[in-house]
């Protein structure tokens, strides 16, 4: 995890070129082909981290789960790139539109941070709108090295969204795409508090997460009326993928939660497959 800071108080960014990341078990595919197949078909268990992984000891247990049936979760050199492509396809191409929405939500702000940035596509979309002070933060160095290769104009930092290595009021806006539903409830709270700390008063938090509608709408006719065949598809997908904490996210009254932590809800749109919110940090809070 990045704990060193530069002269201006920002954390040191991840350096991927010089030190290749260590192999995790799925990076030795011949020996582990059966294990990979079994995880894809039946889901898996805990993540195993290589001993030399940067930041290994700071990674909390709740993160070390296999999300979405990806063998070893977000921790494999080989699989993260494949996961990224598979995710785009599994979402039927809707992620580009979603990223554009996030980028437009923070357009015109000076300093923008994407938390749980994964392979960097959201902050890459923000860069397209002309923002120049661009940051991405993620727990997985495997994800960050893909991001750093694809978006050299962005500063990427290994860190935890619930304990960020940034100074208070550093950012004008924060984006979070498909992060909160992967956190246990107490971490969702901790991340919102941390975002409040690193945002300037009046700053924005733009969130996009899976909509609760694909899990909560049991009636197939209603699903079809709402979103046609895509409604059925996303309802099936939501039941198939491993999402250990998604119920804890959907159980929240998000508007009350945000208001209670000092944010005003500017926008809250729900459909299939996304729920998208824009929250503004009220001025005058400490
Ligand atoms: C579903 S992926 C979303 C990636 C990216 N935002 C996107 O939309 O493509 C969730 C990402 O959040 C990261 N993550 C999960 N918990 C985190 C935490 N507490 N702090 C930082 N990153 C975290 C994971 O490593 C993973 O890259």
Domain boundary residue among 66, 90, 114? Answer: 90
Domain boundary residue among 90, 118, 147? Answer: 90
Contact (CB, 8 A) for 128 and 115: no
What is the pTM for the complete model shown? 0.93
Shared-domain flag, residues 86 and 141: no
- The number of the ligand 1 atom at minimal distance from the alpha carbon of 121 is 9
How far is 68 from 72, CA to CA, in rounded Å?
10
> pLDDT-derived band of residue 43, with 50, 70 and 90 as boundaries?
low
Shared-domain flag, residues 181 and 118: yes
Q: Is the CB of 121 under 6 A from ligand 1?
A: yes
Shared-domain flag, residues 83 and 98: no
Shared-domain flag, residues 200 and 235: yes
pLDDT above 90 (res 150)? yes
Shared-domain flag, residues 199 and 212: yes
- The number of the ligand 1 atom at minimal distance from the alpha carbon of 67 is 1
pLDDT digits (tens, 9 = 90+) for 163-193: 999 999 999 999 999 999 999 999 999 999 9
Shared-domain flag, residues 75 and 207: no
Is residue 6 in some structural domain? no
Is residue 7 in some structural domain? no
Listed residue (174, 190, 197, 120) closest to 152, CA to CA: 120
Q: Which residues constitute the domain of residue 76?
A: 25-90
pLDDT digits (tens, 9 = 90+) for 57-72: 999 999 988 777 777 8
Number of domains present in the structure of the chain: 2
Is residue 129 in some structural domain? yes
Tokens coding 206: 């733009």
Q: Would you give the distance in Å from CA 237 to the centre of its chain?
A: 18
pLDDT above 70 (res 90)? yes
Q: Is the CB of 99 under 6 A from ligand 1?
A: no
Q: How many angstroms is it from 61 CA to the middle of ligand 1? A: 15
Contact (CB, 8 A) for 175 and 122: yes
pLDDT above 70 (res 30)? no
Q: Is the CB of 63 under 6 A from ligand 1?
A: yes
Contact (CB, 8 A) for 278 and 266: yes
Is residue 126 in some structural domain? yes
| pLDDT value for 107 | 97
Closest residue by CA, ligand 1 atom 4: 118
Is residue 85 in some structural domain? yes
Is residue 8 in some structural domain? no
Domain boundary residue among 58, 90, 122? Answer: 90
Is residue 1 in some structural domain? no
Q: How many angstroms is it from 138 CA to the middle of ligand 1? A: 6
pLDDT digits (tens, 9 = 90+) for 130-146: 999 999 999 999 999 99
pLDDT digits (tens, 9 = 90+) for 13-26: 998 875 578 888 78
Closest residue by CA, ligand 1 atom 27: 118
Is residue 17 in some structural domain? no
Q: Is the CB of 140 under 6 A from ligand 1?
A: yes
Shared-domain flag, residues 31 and 106: no
pLDDT digits (tens, 9 = 90+) for 204-261: 999 999 999 988 888 899 999 999 999 999 999 998 887 889 999 999 999 999 999 9
Q: Is the CB of 155 under 6 A from ligand 1?
A: no
Shared-domain flag, residues 188 and 212: yes
Averaged pLDDT for residues 82-89: 88
Shared-domain flag, residues 117 and 242: yes
> pLDDT-derived band of residue 46, with 50, 70 and 90 as boundaries?
confident
Listed residue (51, 95, 99) closest to 75, CA to CA: 51
């Amino acid at each position: 995890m990045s704990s060193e800071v530069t002269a201006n108080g920002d954390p040191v960014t991840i350096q991927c070129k010089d030190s290749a990341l260590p192999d995790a078990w799925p990076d030795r595919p011949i020996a582990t082909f059966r294990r990979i197949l079994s995880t894809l078909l039946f889901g898996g268990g805990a993540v195993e981290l290589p001993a030399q992984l940067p930041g290994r000891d700071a990674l909390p247990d709740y993160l070390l789960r296999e999300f979405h049936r990806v063998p070893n979760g977000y921790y494999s050199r080989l699989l993260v790139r494949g996961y990224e492509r598979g995710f785009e396809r599994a979402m039927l191409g809707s992620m580009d539109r979603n990223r554009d929405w996030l980028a437009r939500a923070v357009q015109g702000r000076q300093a923008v941070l994407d938390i749980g940035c994964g392979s960097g596509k959201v902050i890459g979309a923000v860069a397209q709108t002309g923002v120049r002070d661009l940051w991405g933060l993620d727990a997985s160095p495997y994800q960050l090295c893909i991001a750093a290769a694809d978006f050299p104009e962005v500063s990427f930092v290994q860190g935890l969204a619930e304990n960020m290595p940034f100074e208070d009021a550093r950012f004008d806006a924060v984006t979070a795409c498909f992060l909160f539903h992967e956190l246990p409830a107490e971490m969702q709270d901790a991340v919102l508090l941390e975002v409040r700390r690193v945002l300037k008063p009046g700053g924005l938090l733009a969130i996009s997460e899976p909509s609760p509608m694909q899990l909560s709408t049991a009636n197939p006719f209603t699903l079809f009326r709402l979103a046609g065949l895509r409604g059925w598809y996303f309802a099936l997908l939501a039941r198939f993928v491993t999402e250990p904490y998604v119920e804890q996210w959907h159980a929240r009254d998000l508007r009350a939660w945000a208001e209670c932590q000092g944010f005003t809800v500017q926008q809250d749109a729900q459909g299939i497959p996304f729920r998208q919110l824009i929250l503004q940090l009220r001025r005058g809070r400490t």
